[in-house]
Amino acid sequence: MAHLWPIGGGKGGSGKSFLTSSLGRLSAELGKKTLVIDLDLGSANLHTLVGVPYPQKGLSDFIRKKISRLEDAVVETPQANLFLISGAHDNFDIANLPYEQKIKTLRAITKLKYERILLDLGAGTSFNTLDFFLISQNGIFITTPEPTSVENVYRLIRAIYFRRIRYCFNASQFKALESETDRQFGNGAMNKPIYMMKMIAKTDVEKYRQLQEEFGAYRFKLVINQVRKHDNTALGLQMSRMMERHLGLHVEFAGNVAYDDHVHDAICQQVCFLERYSYTKTAGDLREVGKQVVHATGRQLMLHYM
């Protein structure tokens, strides 16, 4: 079974696609059959980063039923062992993927025969992003050491948390739960997962236990990208402690990735950063992060909620 790693980060420009392409390449270099999927629907970029500027087919062909099986939408990249499902040249309404299409895509992804599958998710906290993230118990959050980015990644994590709670209930139940929480803990409490969980603990012990187990099983990782020299290197550890303490979510800090202008150069020249500038600190950091992903062999539960 494939190891699925969704990569998300809330804010745009924090390096999700770059990290996906780098990790994919590192994994492929180790001989793992690796697939990267561009799920940044509507603003796809991954194909450029993995060296396929004009992919002949992609995810949209599968969604528009031009291709019946998702395997056939895969294109090869110049790198051996690395494959791509591109999101390029899709139609303009793909960003609002209907629910059935999304479920169909999710199912198809879990059936793909690859050793590692990396999902490059879009910015923001749209349902698509959240659902694609919840496909796996693994996942990588990426942020830069800036308040804007930190705020968005916290927001994304909370949104995922809520989405997971939401799956356990049908619409009317959830509505009732929200209003009950609001009534008991005061205004605005329904936006806080702690109060929500407290409420569930009171009303439905069985569901509460199940959710606790579920959240305890998540093995998310946090990467701090674009770390400049004077930045606080302990930020990642602090954030991971914050989430463990106040959200009860285990988010492991996977490492800092140094800021380097050469990344910009490599993307502009459309060459692989890890290849062209393999002796920079940034490349070393990426390899460190890559080790944790490539060698991960943890339990992999998928689509447990469908």
Partner 1 sequence: MQKGFDQLTYYEMLDIRPDAAPFEVRHAYNAALSMYQPGALASYSFFSEEERQEILSLIETAYRTLISDQARREYDEELIRRGELDVRPEAPPPPKKTAPCFDISRAPVVKAVFNPLPDYRDRIRQSELIGGILAKGELRGADLKQIRTELGVAVEQIAKETKIRRDHLLNMEEDRIARLPATVFLKGFVKSYLKCLCVEPVEELSARYMKTVSSRSPS
Contacts of residue 251, Cβ cutoff 8 Å, sequence gap at least 6: 141, 157, 220, 221, 222, 239, 240, 243, 244
Q: Select the span of 13-21, 112-120, 129-137, 147-155 touching partner 1 (CB under 8 A).
A: 147-155
Tell me how far, at minimum, the Cβ of 146 lies from partner 1, in Å: 8
Does residue 235 belong to the site contacting partner 1 (CB under 8 A)? yes
301 is a site residue for partner 1 (CB under 8 A): no
The verdict on 155 binding partner 1 (CB under 8 A) reads yes
With contacts defined by CB under 8 A, name the span among 71-79, 102-110, 120-128, 141-149 that binds partner 1.
141-149
| Contact pick of 87, 145, 255, 290 for partner 1 (by CB under 8 A) | 145
Nearer to partner 1, 8 or 145 (CB): 145
Q: Residue 108 Cβ, how far from partner 1 at the closest point, in Å?
A: 35
Q: What is the DSSP letter of 122?
A: P
**Quick one: which of 117, 142, 197, 289 contacts partner 1 (CB under 8 A)?**
197
Asked if 142 and 223 touch (Cβ cutoff 8 Å), the reply is yes
DSSP reduced 3-state for 6: strand
Q: Which is nearer to partner 1, 198 or 281 (CB)?
A: 198
Shortest distance (Å) from residue 242 CB to partner 1: 6
Strands 116-121 and 34-39: parallel
Q: Closer to partner 1 by CB, 46 or 243: give it.
A: 243
d(CA 57, CA 47): 11
CA atoms within 13 A on the CB side of 271: 10
Q: How many CB atoms lie within 10 A of CB 104?
A: 16
Residue 63 near residue 147 (C-beta atoms within 8 A): no
In this structure, what token pair is assigned to residue 160? 């995922």
Question: How are strands ordered across the β-sheet holding 75-76?
Answer: 75-76, 82-85, 34-39, 116-121, 3-8, 138-143, 219-227, 251-258
x-marked contacts with partner 1 along 203-232 as a string, rule CB under 8 A: ---------x-------------------x
Stretch of residues binding partner 1 (CB under 8 A), selected from 50-58, 132-140, 145-153, 273-281: 145-153
- The residue among 112 and 201 lying less far from partner 1, judged by its C-beta, is 201
Q: Which stretch binds partner 1 (CB under 8 A): 24-32, 34-42, 72-80, 151-159?
A: 151-159
Query: Is residue 158 packed enough to be buried (19+ CB in 10 Å), middle (13-18) or exposed (0-12)?
Result: middle
Is 198 a residue that touches partner 1 (CB under 8 A)? yes
Q: Which residues bind partner 1 (CB under 8 A)?
A: 145-147, 150-151, 154-155, 193-194, 197-198, 201, 212, 232, 234-235, 238-239, 241-242, 245-246, 248
